[in-house]
Amino acid sequence: MRVVCLQYEQESGFLDFLTGYSPVIEPRPDGEVFLEIPRQGIRSLVREMGRSGFRVAGGIGTNPFIARAAVPAGMGAGRGRLPGLVRIRTPEGGALFAVPPGSEAEFAAALPVELLWPLPPKTRLALRGLGLVTGADVARVGDAELRAHFGEAGVLAAAYARGLDRRRVQALYPPPEVVWRCVPGGVVDRSALDGWLGAGARNLAGRLWQKGCGYRRLRLEIGLDGGRRLESERRFPAHVPPDAARLRHQLLLLLDAQEVDGPVDELRVTAGMLYRLAPRQLDLFSPETRAADGLERAAALDTRYPGRLARGWDAGFYRRERMLHFYDPCRGRWGAGGAG
């Protein structure tokens, strides 16, 4: 597989075009996109971009750092071509620059430190201020010295200066979604609709937990008898863990936002803009976690260290239960009004 970095002018349909050539596409907010593609597919991609009228500049390498650095390095090749860099002719006035496998270290050694782009700008300025002009200059400095001076950024600087990048392209486009759909067939009773949406919330929450994902967007589509469709959507500024009770509450709010004036033939719920849950979120909200397990551990610790274990709500031991009650006001003593 090769990594391709393309710089484009936000042409309509360009990302959709790329889905025909790669299942791993990572758009970036600055008019760039990374994709992974088999080596033999690059020629076809370049040819079809020209036929479709897409004018882009891009770089090709074995990792994201090399692919992106090849673009400005190639565009400035009039001042002297960098070793290990090959220009690929493209139609429509575009430009692609490739670094063949095995040439990464040679190419990175000749790069100006300003093109070690994954590093923070302040780190690149500091490297230049120390008299380190190229990747080769950085590579000659010991890894231990770079780490002592720059911390983790120094470790990364040493790797990039040798053409190494362990990051992988993330499959962000098309945006991942989880969809639940049912055909209740002419339901007119509101309580029945609430029941269907509750079932959908449980289904979606379970599938999201299996994926280890939360969501940032929730969309409810309602198909009415006669073919008319209603749609309401809500986006969340913060990440939302897949708690079934909270998901049901959000769906009922979306239902309230619609004027359902006829029998409902179809319900469709989409949880989109997914993100990976952090390990702590999985531990805190997972339905498989049981408070009894924590109590057993507490009893064991109390036996081993008598009088050393703090108990009660103030000790923070029941933090998971408190958080769960916060997200579900209908449960127990912790509700919308705070502690009971």
What is the rounded average pLDDT of the residues 101-114? 95
Q: CB-based burial of residue 304 (10 Å sphere; 0-12 exposed, 13-18 middle, 19+ buried)?
A: exposed
Question: Do 194 and 252 contact (CB within 8 A), yes or no?
Answer: yes
How far apart (Å, rounded) are the C-alpha atoms in residues 321 and 102? 54
pLDDT in tens, 271-309: 988 877 766 555 555 554 444 555 666 677 677 777 666
> CA nearest 16: which of 62, 59, 48, 61?
48
Contacts of 66 (CB under 8 A, 6+ apart): 3, 59, 99, 104, 107, 108, 163, 165
Residue 135: left if φ>0, alpha if ψ -120 to 50, beta else—which one?
alpha
The CATH homologous superfamily to which domain 177-279 belongs is DNA polymerase, Y-family, little finger domain (3.30.1490.100)
What pLDDT, in 10s, does the model give residues 223-234?
998 889 999 999
Instruction: Dump pLDDT digits (tens) for 241-253.
Output: 788 999 999 999 9
Is residue 56 a contact partner of residue 41, using CB atoms and an 8 Å limit?
no
- State the pLDDT at residue 105: 96
State the pLDDT at residue 327: 52
pLDDT band at 103 (very low <50, low <70, confident <90, very high): very high
Provide the pLDDT for residue 84: 85
pLDDT in tens, 127-175: 999 999 999 999 999 899 999 999 999 999 999 999 999 999 988 888 7
CA distance 11 to 291: 52
**Domain 177-279 in the same topology as domain 2-161:** no
Q: Where are the domains of the chain?
A: 2-161, 177-279, 290-327
Per the CB < 8 A criterion, the answer to whether 254 and 236 are in contact is no
pLDDT at residue number 334: 40
How confident is the model over 40-49, as a mean pLDDT? Answer: 89
Classify residue 318 as left (phi > 0), alpha (psi -120 to 50) or beta: alpha
Mean pLDDT of 58-74: 95
* Cα-based angle 66, 67, 69 (whole degrees, multiple of 5): 65
Q: How far apart are the first and last CA of the chain?
A: 58
- Give the H or E element holding residue 276: strand 275-276
pLDDT at 294: 58
Count the neighbouring beta carbons within 10 Å of the beta carbon of residue 87: 13
pLDDT at 157: 96
Average pLDDT of 86-90? Answer: 84
Q: Which tokens is 291 given?
A: 């408070």
The predicted structure's pLDDT at residue 280: 58
Percent of the chain with pLDDT over 90: 50
Query: Bigger pLDDT: 321 or 142?
Result: 142
Helix (H) or strand (E) holding 320: helix 319-327
pLDDT band at 13 (very low <50, low <70, confident <90, very high): confident
The per-residue pLDDT for 197 is 95
Give just the sign of the alpha carbon dihedral 167, 161, 134, 128.
Answer: positive
Q: Is residue 255 pLDDT above 70, yes or no?
A: yes
At residue 126, does pLDDT exceed 70?
Answer: yes
Asked if pLDDT for residue 201 goes beyond 90, the answer is yes
Considering only the top CATH level, what class is 2-161?
A: mainly alpha
